[in-house]
């Protein structure tokens, strides 16, 4: 996908420049998947329900007030713009299409004919009923990469069940190993299985695009959220395979110690002495060299077996200083793997994040300048990153139709047929 100037000098482009993605999904699984593709240069077109849009536009609170704005997409939410929606939809375009109308469906088919990737996260069977199933669209474009995401996949006794991140965190075993030792199962504080699934889907799509380069053939990528979450059990699955029952351990680790969070004089400190060398150096750095020779803590296996006693000893030590003092002494001066436990705001605004330009801004037509969380892939010979803010509902409907060759008369006909909104 490399390009050249008139002088023959190479111009960097995104890895996925020239790839068009149609995203019919709602909420996070498909949305974060297409967000990852957009970050690498793909053109992503969100196909949304007229006057309603992606359900994630209405998720919240909080909302950002955009009183006084009277342009496209002003009916997306009567409470303002959703920052949560922004984080999943930077750099996309929005087209409103009524897929329950024949005219709206034909417009979608025209878009499919000029696209590379199609993403949907309907419950199994719904896409076929709407006329947008894999076989329907393959007839219009046999090179299409078609990705279907559902809660439990398209086979098995649970395939018809609806599902959200909360349910899959439960059924995947993640909740059973999250939380305090004596407490109830706890949901991870972010939509973890949505994001896990999105990343698997993006990986599958890019793999299918790569294969298409050599075969010229399209592909169907099908996955369920539960399937996507299970490979991430790793350590916990290893214990189960050995006949042990993984349990909730708070911030402790099932196979490493010390590898957890400890209280300090003013907060908390993460300590990850994940091998014997680091353990010995930590003991020296905290002025407790005798701990390295203590029979209870001599090897990692001993430390894991005596984890509660180790926690008590180290907690007494770390409570004697502030978190920043420990970080300076252990991380900055000694090069040991320790760090603070940040709030979300602290995680987004600190010297490391600023140095890496992870947080940037983009222009939003209704809300003005908004924050953007960049994605982590940096290439030596390709561009990556977001160029624009998230789209307002339907703001690209007419421009994209015109680009496809629809005349003003055609567009008026679609409005009269309620295939697109008349706004």
Catalytic residues: 194
- For residue 389 the two structure tokens come to 């803010």
How many C-beta atoms surround the C-beta of residue 40 within 10 A?
20
Q: Where are the alpha helices (DSSP H) in 121-234?
A: 126-130, 134-138, 165-171, 192-215, 225-229
Q: Which of 47, 58, 42 is nearest to 24 (CA)?
A: 47
Dist. CA 19–CA 143, nearest whole Å: 12
Strand ranges of the sheet holding 259-263, from the earlier edge strand across to the other edge:
259-263, 268-272, 338-340
- For residue 381 the two structure tokens come to 């010979």
Type and span of the H or E element at 281? helix 276-285
Dist. CA 85–CA 27, nearest whole Å: 8
Dist. CA 248–CA 339, nearest whole Å: 23
CA of residue 104 relative to chain centroid, distance = 30
Using CA atoms in the order 186, 189, 193, 198, what is the torsion angle rounded to 10 degrees? 180
Query: What proportions of the chain, in percent to the nearest 5, are helix, strand and coil?
Result: 40, 15, 45
147 strand-pairing partners:
119, 221
Dist. CA 331–CA 265, nearest whole Å: 17
How many C-beta atoms surround the C-beta of residue 170 within 10 A?
15
- For residue 281 the two structure tokens come to 């150096």
Place of tokens 């417009």: 107
Q: Residue 28 burial by CB count (10 A; 0-12/13-18/19+): exposed, middle or buried?
A: buried
Dist. CA 131–CA 230, nearest whole Å: 32
Q: Which of 173, 125, 165, 154 is nearest to 28 (CA)?
A: 165
Decide if 246 contacts 236 (C-beta within 8 A): yes
């Amino acid at each position: 996908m490399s390009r050249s100037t008139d002088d023959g000098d190479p111009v960097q482009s995104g890895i996925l420049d020239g790839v068009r993605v149609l995203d019919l999904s709602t909420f996070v699984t498909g949305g974060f998947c297409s967000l990852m593709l957009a970050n690498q240069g793909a053109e992503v077109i969100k196909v949304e329900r007229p006057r309603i849009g992606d359900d994630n536009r209405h998720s919240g609170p909080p909302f950002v007030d955009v009183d006084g704005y009277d342009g496209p997409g002003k009916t997306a939410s009567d409470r303002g713009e959703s920052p949560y929606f922004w984080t999943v939809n930077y750099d996309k375009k929005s087209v409103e299409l009524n897929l329950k109308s024949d005219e709206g469906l034909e417009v979608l088919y025209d878009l499919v004919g000029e696209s590379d990737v199609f993403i949907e996260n309907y419950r199994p069977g719904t896409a076929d009923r709407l006329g947008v199933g894999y076989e329907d669209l393959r007839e219009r474009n046999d090179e299409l990469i078609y990705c279907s995401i559902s809660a439990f996949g398209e086979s098995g006794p649970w395939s018809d069940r609806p599902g959200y991140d909360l349910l899959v965190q439960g059924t995947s075993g993640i909740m059973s190993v999250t939380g305090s030792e004596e407490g109830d199962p706890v949901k991870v504080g972010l939509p973890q299985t949505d994001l896990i699934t999105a990343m698997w889907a993006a990986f599958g799509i890019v793999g299918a695009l790569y294969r298409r380069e050599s075969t010229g053939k399209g592909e169907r990528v099908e996955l369920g959220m539960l399937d996507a979450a299970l490979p991430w059990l790793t350590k916990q699955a290893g214990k189960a395979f050995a006949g042990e029952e993984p349990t909730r351990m708070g911030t402790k680790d099932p196979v490493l110690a010390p590898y957890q969070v400890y209280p300090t004089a003013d907060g908390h400190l993460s300590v990850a002495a994940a091998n014997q060398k680091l353990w010995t150096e930590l003991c020296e750095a905290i002025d407790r060299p005798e701990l390295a020779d203590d029979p209870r803590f001599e090897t990692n296996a001993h430390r894991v077996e005596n984890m509660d006693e180790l926690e008590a000893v180290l907690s007494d030590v770390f409570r004697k200083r502030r978190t920043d003092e420990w970080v300076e002494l252990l991380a900055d001066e000694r090069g040991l793997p320790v760090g603070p436990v940040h709030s979300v705001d602290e995680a987004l605004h600190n010297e490391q994040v600023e140095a890496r330009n992870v947080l940037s801004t983009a222009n939003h037509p209704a809300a003005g300048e908004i924050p953007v969380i960049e994605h982590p892939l940096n290439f030596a010979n390709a561009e990556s990153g977001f160029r624009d803010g998230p789209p307002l509902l339907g703001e690209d409907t007419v421009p994209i139709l015109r680009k496809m060759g629809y005349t003003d008369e055609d567009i008026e006909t679609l409005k009269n047929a309620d295939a697109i909104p008349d706004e």
